Structure 1
């Protein structure tokens, strides 16, 4: 797994991830007790580094004096391991991000338990997150493989209160805890992007590890025409968007397509629409079974409400076409069905936002809405108490004479007062002056105090999100990505195509596992064939660029954009025909373009001998730039030692290679002399 230039590459097969193989994951994870000790060491470090409350800007700023390079070095040393054995040392350093996030979780618990020290624990929480960010960005430039596969994606188990917890990786832990500082780091986002595209997939042999997809650089169309690629979150998201728009179109045709008072039987479009709804309901029940109550988030409950309303409408519609003796006629059932179905319109349209949240504008808007809903809980709780109290008072006034005459109008007026539509007319003739005094007090509290509190809460929620909009959006996308990779590792049947899987399940149970998997593979290939063709075309074009990057010893995600300030980046895929026999034409065209651009630029700059900037100018620029030598040059001693060892090893290899070449040349000279 080591390239010619000494860079480590990500594993591309399940076997390379096994401990017995000397691949890039060639060591076992630390034990739960060892993870606990590393976490305790890191907590001790943060406690000493942040003994008092600091300004958050002093912690998160670049080149912070609090989280200095010495603290980063101590964080690495807190993991233990043999300093002379790189593999042993890296084994324990692999849990450093996971352990720091656990420390963040502990500080959050302490801030809740010890309110008098909440500010201190929140400061330490922020320091732990910032230290995570520094370590992630440091490893991104040193060892991308170690960052992705060990620090962020490998699942670890920690022992807490003498019990081993569920295995989690740093990616999941940071997302669940909403650590926006960690999520917003470049290495974290880069890892998410690779998972979103399906470049990194879960290991089929070991669910605690991930591997790199082995078909990335394959330039043949057929190698990407594989339903397994549908496990990539980006393709599942596209499929869900397509089926959501189809569902909306079918709903529009059904709810606005009734043009007769006569009861009609189910037509084709209506039947397909209700099949879609059944598939969505089945998908929600399946996720609830596997995930549990954690699945019941706001948007999932929103979708469940939509499907429930449509299910009621479907039941009433079935009653209208079924010849049963009921209290209402078929026409009445049919009318009720369409009226109930019409009430689902706001839900059906609004659910599109859930699948369009990958767009930055919509994503930020949804985050703002989510925060507003949370903040409004305080308002509705106060409103509920106030309404209960005043309602009881008005009901007491109404029953003072032994009769209840206007209970209904009282309740209705108290409710619409919240919307600003309350009226004093109801209380003019009712129990004067007590009812009027009570209502004046209620109206003042609701309209002047509570509604202004609600406005202030909404304003606070909006400002909080806008000030941190980018990080909040990245956290939202992290949650969206995890929704796909946390699903059971089975064949992908996106709703409503999951009904096909349900009907095929009895056959899958009868067949041997391998035959059942082959049959499912064939079914998915047929069903998804149009979409798989588009995927194949897209990924084949990407594969040529990836192959070009690997030839240039660059990362797979390099040269995605042709920027105007770099004359050698970008990739020309226009010369790569989809069915072309020559698969290297794009590479040659890109190299030709780069050399031509450089030549034209040099020629243009040499037209005037006085145009060129002297070398002294570059030296002066370096002198006037801020100096961070104490940060940039303060590498750990271990890193320096590792670099020296690597240089010695490479020098030895070069010497051996030189000796072999010299010996070969001498033999060739002797042979020539004999001839």
Structure 2
């Protein structure tokens, strides 16, 4: 391969083909790997070594045995999470972990560490007596994985092999479903790994569409080869809609339109009960979103349900109920009371959805750190409140049975509904005491006082404590929680890649215009071509904006490659390469290193290490002196020719005595 020089002119075509060599920053000659592109020129699957599930399981077992030896007892968590050489996760430990996946199995090391962390998490929940020990071991697994990710120099290998490549395990003599390290870290909520720089950079590249699912094998990831091609029509491709950034933008745009349609429909009631275009479009959008939820649930199953999925399903359910009452109203004669009552009820359900409809926008604002962290807080508060509501329901059932029993003691049941109403008011901090004064005295009033005390003093304070702990837990790790939310959202777009992405409500075009009439009989290659044509027509206004944006990004990448920087590098206002090189050539950095306070060490450890270094130097000097004295003695004993040995010894002794006497007299 012929090396190109930076001084010679180079065309944009050569830059876009990613053949520009990367300069060496340490002054050494470039290695052959530096001539290969960071983004390869082919979208074919990489020819990597196959790692069987048995091999991956063996690596996991090795790592588990290693962690059991490294952390045999409970220690302080700071000794694991502490940066620098004072941590027990030393470079030797990291090297040993890498040795567990020796040879061609190195790609599965991060996945194996996360798997072992998941194992320790299960043991932590099952064996409560050693829960703290297993928690430490799980955190150690995450810390080792983070060190490996951040120390990996081959970025292409890190992204496509370590993080994006899927592996399987053997559990109960059966092969599990394949997952990659990106997905596993999100599934087990490993904030330590998710917060690492290499992990987030890989997620960012997937978010911007620089790493995409392979068109040949959707379970694998390849690089988008045209990322540095500054040609408009090259990027005018409907497949680019699969990019998470563009899918999120489309969903946000359609959600704003959806909200506008809802606002128009709820504020313009039709007295006659007929549909207007705004209300009709509102229900069409709702149908598209509902079909999307059904398809996702069909493919994912029960694991699809989350806080936001339940939130959206509740909103769509209320809108469908409103639509049903509107249909019922239209099915009865005009100017009838039944039509009027059903029509009013339909608009009441429609108006009841307003808080949910506006809150739905927060789902698409979670890319901002503030909104993302707040959404995580809300989700955690909802989880913590489950404990409160379970206790509340059990206590309310017990007291309600007591009130009903007191009421039915006389053979009549006439205060059951009243008891439920007053109990709910007590929960909402508005208790009622007077109605119970004359209810089965003195038992009714006594039970009411006890219930009010239990709910107002005990349960509500428990709820406040749970909310406080959840809030502190999230905000202590607000940045990592936001990064985890960003990773989860990115992977949600690509984890189960669809061959043809139709963002709701455009999925109605796919269902009723493509799948039902054509997919069941048309050949696959012709059906795929038909989908491309339809997507190009439907998304053409959006593709114009996407192509213009990607042409701009391609120009930035070409400039970065021409200067030898990374593709996603941005030059900040404080970066001056010429001045930095001049300062680096001076003695300024040496003076800084001498004045460095050694932040990775505490002062006592630093002083002990300095003392140890001095002791080692003194030991070396003493050893050298002993060797010199021993050598002189041997030379004196070996001199047996050319004179009398005893006379020489006497002469040396007399000389030493004279020197000693002279020194004493001088003193």
Q: Shorter-chain TM-score: what band?
A: 0.7 to 0.9
In structure 2, the residue matched to 1:643 is: none
What SS does the aligned partner of 2:222 have?
strand
User: CA separation of 1:448/1:191 partners in 2, compared to 1, >3 Å: closer, same or farther?
Assistant: same
Cα displacement (A) at 1:12: 3.9
Partner of 2:593: 622
Q: Which residue of 2 aligns with 1:583?
A: none
SS of aligned partner of 1:51: coil
SS in structure 2 of the partner of residue 201 of structure 1? strand
SS of the equivalent of 2:472 reads helix
Q: Given the superposition, is the C-alpha separation of residues 326 and 38 from structure 1 closer, same or farther in structure 2, using an over 3 Å criterion?
A: farther
Gaps of 5+ in 2: 1-17, 22-29, 602-667
1:458 aligns with 2:467: yes
Alpha-carbon shift at residue 627 of structure 1 (Å):
5.9
Structure 1 distance, partners of 2:542, 2:591, is 56
Is contact 2:56–2:112 with CA below 8 Å preserved after alignment? yes
The alpha carbon displacement at 1:126 in A equals 0.3
Q: Which residue of 2 aligns with 1:146?
A: 157
Within the alignment, does 1:62 sit opposite 2:83 as a pair?
Answer: yes
Q: Deviations over 1:181-211 (max 9, x none)?
A: 0000000000000000111001122233210
Q: Hey, what does 2:483 align to over in structure 1?
A: 474
How many angstroms does 1:629 deviate by?
Answer: 11
Report the secondary structure of 1:400's partner residue. helix
Partner of 1:198: 209
2:351 and 2:584 mapped to 1: Cα distance? 71
How many Å separate the matches in 2 of 1:365 and 1:29?
A: 43
Residue of structure 2 in register with 1:265 after alignment: 274
The structure with the larger Rg is 2
Cα contact 1:14–1:204 (8 A) shared by 2? no
Match status 1:511 vs 2:522: yes
Which secondary structure state, in structure 1, belongs to the residue aligned with residue 218 of structure 2? coil
The answer as to 2:409 corresponding to 1:400 is yes
Shift of 1:422: 1.5
Determine the structure 1 residue equivalent to 2:646: none
Alpha carbons of 1:296 and 1:327: their partners in 2 closer, same or farther (altered >3 Å)? farther
How many Å apart are 1:518 and its aligned residue?
1.7
* Distance in 2 of aligned mates of 1:193 and 1:182: 15
Q: Deviations over 1:531-571 (max 9, x none)?
A: 11111111100001112222333321112xx3122125xxx
Measure how far apart 1:132 and its partner are: 0.4
Q: Does 1:159 align with 2:170?
A: yes
Q: 1:26 to 1:515 in 2, by over 3 A?
A: closer
- Judged with a 3 Å threshold, the aligned counterparts in structure 2 of structure 1 residues 616 and 486 are, in CA distance, closer, same or farther, namely closer
> 1:425-458: CA deviations, max 9, x gaps?
1112111111111111111111111111111110
CA contact (8 A) 2:43 2:222 kept: no
- 2:58: which partner in 1? 37
Structure 2 distance, partners of 1:175, 1:395, is: 49
Deviates more, 1:413-422 or 1:403-412: 403-412
CA contact (8 A) 2:261 2:279 kept: yes
> Which of 105, 119, 123 is the matching residue for 2:132?
119
Question: Which residue number in structure 2 is paired with residue 672 of structure 1?
Answer: none
Alignment of 1:220 with 2:231, yes or no, is: yes
SS of the equivalent of 2:459 reads: helix
Aligned to 2:362: 353
After alignment, is 395-404 or 278-287 more displaced? Answer: 395-404
Q: Give distance in 1, aligned partners of 2:170 and 2:42.
A: 28
Q: Which runs of 5+ in 1 are unaligned?
A: 18-24, 81-88, 569-597, 606-611, 631-675
Taking the TM superposition and a 5 Å limit, the aligned residue runs for 1:319-334 are 319-323=328-332, 329-334=338-343
Distance 1:296-1:14 versus aligned 2 partners, 3 A rule? farther
Residue 341 (1) aligns with residue 341 (2): no
CA contact (8 A) 2:43 2:225 kept: no
Report if aligned partners of 1:317, 1:334 keep a CA contact under 8 Å in 2. yes
The equivalent position to 2:101 in structure 1, one of 73, 79, 84, is 79
When normalised by structure 1's length, the TM-score is 0.81
For the residue of structure 2 that corresponds to 1:329, the secondary structure is helix
Question: 1:26 aligned to 14, 39, 47, which one?
Answer: 47
Q: Which of 117, 127, 134 is matched with 1:104 structurally? A: 117
SS in 2 for 1:98: helix
Aligned runs of 1:225-236 on 2, under 5 Å? Answer: 225-236=236-247
The CA distance in 2 between the partners of 1:384 and 1:146, in whole Å, is: 53
Across the aligned residues of Structure 1 and Structure 2, the Cα RMSD in angstroms comes to 2.3
Q: Evaluate the alpha carbon distance shift between residue 78 and residue 227 of structure 1 in structure 2; reply closer, same or farther with a 3 A threshold.
A: same
Deviation at 1:328, TM superposition (A): 5.6
In 2, are the aligned partners of 1:233 and 1:481 still within 8 Å (CA)?
Answer: yes
Post-superposition offset of 1:423: 0.7
Q: Deviations over 1:8-51 (max 9, x none)?
A: 5456466642xxxxxxx332231111111111111111111111
2: CA distance, partners of 1:510 / 1:326: 49
2:426 maps to 1:417: yes
Which whole-Å deviations, capped at 9, do the CAs of 1:612-662 have from their partners, x for residues lacking one? Answer: 9994443221222256999xxxxxxxxxxxxxxxxxxxxxxxxxxxxxxxx
2:171 aligned with 1:188 = no
Corresponding residue to 2:318 among 301, 304, 309: 309
Structure 1 distance, partners of 2:336, 2:68, is: 72
1:95 positional shift: 0.5
Distance 1:29 1:614 in 2: 47
Residue 326 of structure 1: how far off its partner (Å): 13
Structure 2 residue matching 1:490: 3-state secondary structure: coil
Corresponding residue SS for 1:94: helix
Offset at residue 109 of structure 1 (A): 0.9
| Cα distance in 2 between the residues matched to 1:94 and 1:159 | 18
- Residues 300-344 of structure 1: CA deviation (Å, up to 9, x unaligned): 011011111101111111122224699962112111111111111
Name 1:387's counterpart in structure 2. Answer: 396
Cross-structure match for 2:439: 430
CA contact (8 A) 2:83 2:600 kept: no
What does residue 25 of structure 2 align with? none
